[in-house]
Structure 1
Amino acid sequence: MTLDLTAPSLLRRMACWLYEGLLLFGVLFISGYLFSTLSQSRHALDNRHGLQAFLFLVVGIYFTWFGHKGQTLAMKTWHIRVVDTQGEALTQKRAFARYALSWIWFIPPLAILAPYALTGAEKTVLFVGWVAVWALLSRFHPQRQFWHDVFAGTRLVTAPPIASAKPKA
């Protein structure tokens, strides 16, 4: 069986992106609790930079591990797989490169926010606006891929569910 290398629809990819965020909330919550317990932090701002570095590492391990395997839980749910440009499984090095480049989703608005004291609504508009722009830029790629995937040498493809091996009764 050959893998279909067409990109899933933008709507499906963004739905997967949102679902991934919900799942990561749990991963980050448990990781943050573990870090706070082990570092004996008594206040939310204690060891803030250490916590941020630890969570960056946890998310990096999460996406590198599951990128190497081809699918996160959210990607399995939405029938999406990440592969290299030839349709092969990612190496861990390429999966890590994809993770590092995926920060393009967040770095530009964070850089803009740094020097300004914006309200919560303004920050939300900035983040949502940038995510929408970055997502829509995939429409300009011939295979409709996100640009961080192009830069990393990866691509998102449709991955139909594997038929169950259960015999019918």
Structure 2
Amino acid sequence: MTQPQDSAPPSFKRRMAAFLYEGVLLFGVVVVTALIYSPLTNQRHALKGMQGLQAAAFVVVGLYFVWFWSHGGQTLAMKTWHLRLVDRRRLPVGPWRAVSRYLLAYLWFLPALVSVHLMGMGGNGPVVTVALLTGVAAYLLLARLHPNRQFLHDVICGTQLVTQRPMSKTVLKPGVAGVQRAGAEGGDPS
């Protein structure tokens, strides 16, 4: 049994709330990745082997997103905020489309980092911060200007976020109405 989907795209606030919640969850995923990576590579200092750790985190985070997007269309944060990733025809997303969406999602900040690097200011923390904030703001503005408020990586990949309403929990109980919502009379339905 499928859950109902709304035809209107989810609000910008809900997508950003899910984005922030996803960041909190991914913090734990990256920490666990580092805890596994460090002893395996005998990394004793944070800067020693940093590129290897970054590559491992990139792969693990990619596996996290690709798995959840291609197996149900929802990460934990997306479930919490009732969002689902589907293609343009509102069908589930396959693994290759999920991989392309993950890689293209780096459009959020990669152009800003490349431009800072090309200007030779990569070591200047405040310049990098301003460039990242400007790039993310421009990316958000592009989404606001799109007719369906979709992000550029979703437009390119042919994916979209839709609102996924939770299924209502009903149980059959003898009564006048025949069907009552679980817990409608304060009792536990099980």
**Whose radius of gyration is greater, 1 or 2?**
2
* Residue of structure 1 aligned with 2:89, choices 86, 90, 102: 86
Distance 2:157 2:129 in 1: 28
**Structure 2 length as normaliser, TM-score?**
0.82
After TM superposition, list the pairs within 5 Å mapping 1:96-135 onto structure 2: 96-114=99-117, 115-117=120-122, 119-135=124-140
8 Å CA contact 1:5–1:87 kept in 2: the answer is no
Which one is further off, 159-168 or 73-82?
A: 159-168
Distance 1:117 1:82 in 2: 35
Of Structure 1 and Structure 2, the greater helix share is in 1
8 Å CA contact 1:70–1:83 kept in 2: the answer is yes
With CA pairs under 8 Å and 6+ residues apart, which has the higher RCO, 1 or 2?
1
After TM superposition, list the pairs within 5 Å mapping 1:154-165 onto structure 2: 154-165=159-170
Taking only aligned residues, the RMSD between alpha carbons, in angstroms, comes to 1.7
Q: Name structure 1 gaps, 5 residues minimum.
A: none
8 Å CA contact 1:64–1:95 kept in 2: the answer is yes
Q: CA deviation at 1:4?
A: 2.0
Aligned residues: 169
Q: Name structure 2 gaps, 5 residues minimum.
A: 172-181
Alignment partner of 1:34: what SS? Answer: helix
**Structure 1 length as normaliser, TM-score?**
0.91
8 Å CA contact 1:35–1:51 kept in 2: the answer is yes
Q: CA deviation at 1:118?
A: 5.6
Alignment partner of 2:161: what SS? Answer: strand
Q: CA deviation at 1:153?
A: 0.9
Which one is further off, 115-124 or 38-47?
A: 115-124
Distance 2:17 2:129 in 1: 18
Cα 1:122–1:162 change in 2 (3 A) is farther
Amino acid at match of 1:45: L
